[in-house]
Amino acid sequence: MRHVQVAVIGGGPAGLAAALKAKEAGAESVLILERDKKPGGILQQCIHNGFGLHYFGQELTGPEYAQRFVDRLEGTGIELKCDSMVLEVTQERRITAVSAADGLMEIQADAVVLAMGCRERTRGALLIPGDRPAGVFTAGCAQRLVNMEACLPGRRVVILGSGDIGLIMARRMVWEGAQVLMVCELMPYSSGLNRNIVQCLQDNDIPLYFNTTVTNIHGRERVEGVTVAQVDPATRKPIPETARYVECDTLLLSVGLIPENELTQTTGALMDRVTNGAQVDELRQTTAPGIFACGNVLHVHDLVDNVSREAEIAGEAAARFALGQVKNGKTRAVTVSGGVRYAVPQRVNEDCEKLELYYRVGSAYKPAVVRVYAGETLVKQQRKQIMTPGEMEKISVQLEPGLSDIRVHVEQA
């Protein structure tokens, strides 16, 4: 069995940043296991601009953003194995993986960083009835087809869900000469970034209908049309009188991302039912000692810049754990109240002094006030002009030593 100090599962933006930071923090041997043919993860198919404004201070395409990290691997001694699929990670940090080149690999790691990313919610998960023809794609799958396989997925397109990939694909399909008829969003607000709504939809005159969904798919072989209906905002049930048939050959789904945590579960790490990721401390350590998680496998991010930053926290901590510098003692819980859906990390070590909390709200607040409490004590308060579920929020707080719970609270200002 092979031994490494830090094993990173996934060579997307999170895995690359974590590995680089782990090396920088003193880990001797760092191994990245990536299942695709090359590193970069989903960035490889995101050929549009808009990545890196926060991290690099300039706008890059997805592949360019990834390449910056790949270039930095050079000379570090970090080992990158592509085409390598991890089948299992145990609580004891034993990894089983396969690849064509290496066969079956068994690796004992001192610390593991989980960076497997996320997948898209599918038609089946939404229970959309009707026929099951060709022409129904998740937005990311259609993106891969058009950007990497040079195939055009359709000519008359309806998009369900206003997640960022759906918005980006709306514009991409227009550039390909397709007609994008509409974007339907079940909720009264978009889950995508405002800049994408403006640049991808408004600039191309694509209507965005809120409180609207697709209730049926028609077409035996290829999609011929969909039924679109408004929903009652209170129950989110379709209103039958508003149903109408829209002729189209393609339905793209951008209805949410789900962290890919199948491997995490075999480690026994406790999960967060809201994020669908592991519960972590401020080092991004799961409840399985020495197993860390970062990026979209931990919680779904809207900006890759935040993924890179989070991964650096996890990578550095993983190296320190491997070197015996992390002592797992008592922790204080992080809870949420008011309009906050979730916060990461979910717990904090007692010696943590400066805490950066990432959180999301469950509906739009305009304006909003956010408060952070330690026990009953208000430790920070901020006012924000607007908070929406589509944008991840961050707040930094100084902590006094102690074990009282931390609570993040948002309400209408």
Partner 1 sequence: MYDVLIVGGGVVGCAAARALSAYRVNVCLAEAADDVAFGASRANSAIVHAGYDCEPGTNMARLNVAGNAMFDELCAQLDVPLRRVGSLVLAFSQDDLAALQRLYDNGIKNGVPGVRLLTAEETHAMQPGLSDKVTGSLYAPTGAITCPYELTCALCSNARENGVRFLMGSPVTDVRTAGDHLTVTAGEEQIETRFLVNAAGIHADEVSALCGDESFSIRARKGEYVLFDRAASGFAKMVLFQAPTAMGKGVLVAPTVDGNAYIGPTAVDQTDKDDTSVRPEAIDELTATASLSVPQLPLRSPITLFAGVRAVPSTGDFIVKRSEKNPHLIQAAGICSPGLSSAPAIAKEVVELLGEAGLVLEEKADWQPLRRRPKRFRHMSPQEKAEAIRRDPAYGRIICRCETIPEAEIVEAIREIPGVPSVDAVKRRTRAGMGRCQGGFCMPRVMELIEREAGIPMEEITKNGGASRICVGVSREEGQA
Binding region for partner 1 (CB under 8 A): 35, 44-45, 47, 63, 83, 85, 87, 96, 98-104, 106, 119-120, 122-125, 127-135, 138, 140-141, 144-155, 175-177, 215-216, 218, 220-222, 249-250, 262
Strand partners, 396: 356
Helices (H), ranges, 261-403: 262-266, 304-322
**End-to-end Cα spacing for the chain:** 58
Residue 101 · residue 83 · CB < 8 Å: yes
List CB contacts of 328: < 8 A, sequence separation 6 or more.
285, 289, 349
d(CA 145, CA 173) in angstroms, rounded, equals 11
Residue 204 · residue 172 · CB < 8 Å: no
Question: Is residue 307 within a helix (H) or strand (E), and if so which, with residue range?
Answer: helix 304-322
- Distance in Å, CB of 251 to partner 1, minimum: 13
- Beta carbon nearer to partner 1, 99 or 404: 99
- Distance in Å, CB of 82 to partner 1, minimum: 11
Residue 273 · residue 259 · CB < 8 Å: no
d(CA 21, CA 316) in angstroms, rounded, equals 5
Residue 207 · residue 180 · CB < 8 Å: no
Residue 259 · residue 297 · CB < 8 Å: yes
- Beta carbon nearer to partner 1, 265 or 412: 265
- Distance in Å, CB of 303 to partner 1, minimum: 21
DSSP-derived secondary structure letter, 44: G
- Distance in Å, CB of 160 to partner 1, minimum: 15
- Distance in Å, CB of 413 to partner 1, minimum: 33
- Beta carbon nearer to partner 1, 85 or 403: 85
- Beta carbon nearer to partner 1, 128 or 344: 128
d(CA 89, CA 109) in angstroms, rounded, equals 10
- Distance in Å, CB of 31 to partner 1, minimum: 17
- Distance in Å, CB of 186 to partner 1, minimum: 15
Render the burial of 266-304: b for 16+ CB within 10 Å, e for the rest.
ebebebbeebbbbbbbbbbbbbbebbbbbbbbbbbbbbb
- Beta carbon nearer to partner 1, 277 or 345: 277
- Distance in Å, CB of 230 to partner 1, minimum: 15
